[in-house]
Structure 1
């Protein structure tokens, strides 16, 4: 356990930050799942609408450095590719 007042305060702050970051990561995963669900349903229009809506969430979480910007780009790229593949399959 922390011995100094400053260290105790930083420990408290770290717990609060960890909880906040965990909620943002959960929000990211939910956003990705929403697009995947639309893709799996086979409705390309709904998938594109969901993708457009979720891109801003993914970008905002990357801007807050919860995930790396390249990871955000990778997720967006894979979701976009999955949507484009729907048109080729149909």
Structure 2
């Protein structure tokens, strides 16, 4: 266990940030999963709606620093491509 006051504070801050990042990351995965499930069900309307809901969540996750900007861009690109396969 840490003995310095600054080290104790750092541990508390890291725990708080970890909990917040875990929540944001989990929410992101759920939105991505909804898009993929709608595509698997071949439901274009639901897939487009899920994609439109997922894109802002992906961008916000990147802006918070939970995922890298390139990862966010790649996710949006791949999901859009996937939804467009439904024609």
Question: The TM-score by the shorter chain falls in which range?
Answer: over 0.9
Partner of 1:77: 77
Q: Which runs of 4+ in 1 moved over 6 A?
A: none
- 1:47 paired with 2:52, answer no
Unaligned runs of 5+ in 1: none
Indicate yes or no: 2:68 matched with 1:68: yes
CA deviation map 1:44-63 (0-9, x unaligned): 11101110111000100001
Give me the TM-score of the superposition, normalised by structure 2.
0.95
Report what 1:26 is aligned to: 26
Mapped to 2, the partners of 1:26 and 1:15 lie a distance apart of: 16
Q: CA deviation at 1:33?
A: 0.3
Q: Which runs of 5+ in 2 are unaligned?
A: none
Aligned residues: 87
**RMSD of aligned residue pairs (Cα, Å):** 0.8
